[in-house]
Amino acid sequence: MAVKIAVMVHNLKMDAYEGMEATARMGATGLHISAGAKGFRPEDLDAAGRKKLVAHVRSLGLEVSAISAWGGQVDLGEPEGLDGHIEHGKRLLELAADLECGIWQGHCGIMPHLRSDPKWQRFADAFGRICERGEEVGASLAIETGPEPPETLRDMILDVGSKALRVNYDPANLILWPARYMQLAGEEYDREKAFAEYKPVQGASILGPYTVHTHAKDAKVFPDTGRREVPLGEGWVDWPEYVRLLQEQGFDGYFAIEREVGDDPVGDITRAVRFLQTL
């Protein structure tokens, strides 16, 4: 079964509407839109503006795969500003519903790895409050993988118990984050240990039932320069196996190309589309 390919349009480093046209020319069928970018924030688009955006996307033969927000600026485990974050989260879910993708992908802070940590319940309560709105409008918050092992994220989803709390699986993040933790601890990088705990590919068997969207991003850790995102297919993600495991779990959503670094974003993303088409 061919994979559905989307492009994180703001990664193209051009005007967003020009990027939409470029995405269509590349042969992708989905747009992953940043809802933190000016012109695409919930407060920037009224009901008519949202309908107009959907119509424009459709005119290009595309659809919105997901919206993206909270790229590390929000931590739902901290009490400061929490009520404001929760209200903003509700508005993001409304936007996702109106753009007819029903998926908001976001980083929501670093969850504790143990349920006994006091922050665990704060996260669970915040997710629960946000997801009440998601259930009402038919949209889900897809937490991005990375800071936590797959089992931790699965346990949080089970504790919250809402169909509006799902996963955006990013296999590259599950390579990058443990390398970061080891560096911060002053430890030499241990690939075997990191892969055993964070399971960049095999974790799809654990989180697959909750995964509604995935990032197509690659990474590896270099002995001299450390962790780094690399062009798709040049890192440590076993893409054929990853795709197989997700599809085995019934996943039929988008593989959205995310390319946050590099001097040639258009070229890198075009090549990434071609790579995904081979899968």
The answer to whether residue 1 scores a pLDDT higher than 80 is: no
The answer to whether residue 35 scores a pLDDT higher than 90 is: yes
Delineate the domains of the chain, giving CATH numbers in brackets: 4-277 (3.20.20.150)
The answer to whether residue 266 scores a pLDDT higher than 90 is: yes
The answer to whether residue 264 scores a pLDDT higher than 80 is: yes
pLDDT value of position 78: 94
Question: Of the candidates 277, 258, 184, which has an alpha carbon nearest to the alpha carbon of residue 227?
Answer: 184
pLDDT value of position 179: 97
Q: Give pTM, 2 decimals.
A: 0.96
At 117-136, the pLDDT tens digits run 999 999 999 999 999 999 99
The whole-number average pLDDT for the span 7-33 is 97
The answer to whether residue 16 scores a pLDDT higher than 80 is: yes
DSSP states along the chain: -PPEEEEEGGGG-S-HHHHHHHHHHHT--EEEEETTSTTSSGGG--HHHHHHHHHHHHHTT-EEEEEE--SSS--TTSSTTHHHHHHHHHHHHHHHHHTT--EEEE------SSTTSHHHHHHHHHHHHHHHHHHHHT-EEEEEPSSS-HHHHHHHHHHHT-TTEEEEE-TTHHHHHHHHHHHHTTPPP-HHHHHHHH-TTTTHHHHGGGEEEEEE-EEEEETTTEEEEE-TTSSS--HHHHHHHHHHTT--SEEEE---S-S-HHHHHHHHHHHHHT-
Question: Of the candidates 71, 168, 85, 82, which has an alpha carbon nearest to the alpha carbon of residue 157?
Answer: 168
**C-alpha to C-alpha distance for 33 and 23, rounded to whole angstroms:** 12
**C-alpha to C-alpha distance for 130 and 14, rounded to whole angstroms:** 32
At 46-85, the pLDDT tens digits run 999 999 999 999 999 999 999 999 987 899 999 999 999 9
pLDDT value of position 267: 95
The letter for the amino acid at 222 is F
Number of C-beta neighbours around residue 234 at 10 A: 12
The answer to whether residue 244 scores a pLDDT higher than 90 is: yes
**C-alpha to C-alpha distance for 173 and 187, rounded to whole angstroms:** 19
The whole-number average pLDDT for the span 188-201 is 97
The answer to whether residue 263 scores a pLDDT higher than 90 is: no
- Do residues 250 and 209 make contact, with C-beta atoms less than 8 angstroms apart? yes
Distance linking the first and last C-alpha atoms of the chain: 9
**Around 226, how many Cα atoms within 13 Å sit in the side-chain half-sphere?**
12
